[in-house]
């Protein structure tokens, strides 16, 4: 199986751990790292909706929490059990723009659609660390 298929399968496994009693919309994600490690993530909801966290952010935060940085992230896969293509929400795009390299492959797959993209494509003209520079 090629790398992309392996990563998508791991994201689907992670989707099985989603906690989504309110939306019933399940998301799984997985980060592939240069040392061969995979870090999964799933969406986790809460009765206080603002406390919910998306699957892809859980995966990327998990990688960073273990000491990895964008240079070690080879690819990110995000899957959902919806019909329409899953794409990262606006907040996740902002996070991914800072925590991934602009051209790191992002594989998206829902029940009926799939797409390969990058955060450069998903969030052009991102506000980032360079935006804070004044000189």
Q: Where are the beta strands (DSSP E) in 7-129?
A: 27-33, 38-42, 73-80, 106-109, 114-117
In angstroms, give the least distance from the CB of 69 to Zn ion: 21
- 92 binds Zn ion, rule: CB under 5 A: yes
Q: Which of 2, 29, 24 is nearest to 13 (CA)?
A: 29
Closer CB to Zn ion, residue 7 or residue 78? 78
Q: How many residues would you count in the chain?
A: 135
- 119 binds Zn ion, rule: CB under 5 A: no
In angstroms, give the least distance from the CB of 134 to Zn ion: 30
- 98 binds Zn ion, rule: CB under 5 A: no
Residue 56 designated active-site: yes
Active-site residue identified among 3, 56, 71, 113 = 56
> What sign does the CA torsion over 17, 116, 7, 66 have?
negative
- 89 binds Zn ion, rule: CB under 5 A: yes
Give the pair of three-digit tokens for residue 10.
């791991």
The site for Zn ion (CB under 5 A) is made up of 54, 89, 92
């Amino acid at each position: 199986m090629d790398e992309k298929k392996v990563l998508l399968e791991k994201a689907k496994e992670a989707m099985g751990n989603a906690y989504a009693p309110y939306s019933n919309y399940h998301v799984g994600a997985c980060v592939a790292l240069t040392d061969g490690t995979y870090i999964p993530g799933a969406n986790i909801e809460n009765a206080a909706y603002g406390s919910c966290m998306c699957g892809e952010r859980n995966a990327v935060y998990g990688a960073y929490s273990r000491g990895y940085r964008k240079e070690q992230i080879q690819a990110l896969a995000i899957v959902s059990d919806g019909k329409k293509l899953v794409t990262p929400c606006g907040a996740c795009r902002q996070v991914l723009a800072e925590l991934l390299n602009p051209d790191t492959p992002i594989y998206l797959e829902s029940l009926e659609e799939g797409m390969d993209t990058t955060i450069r494509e998903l969030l052009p003209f991102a506000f980032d660390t360079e935006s804070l520079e004044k000189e």
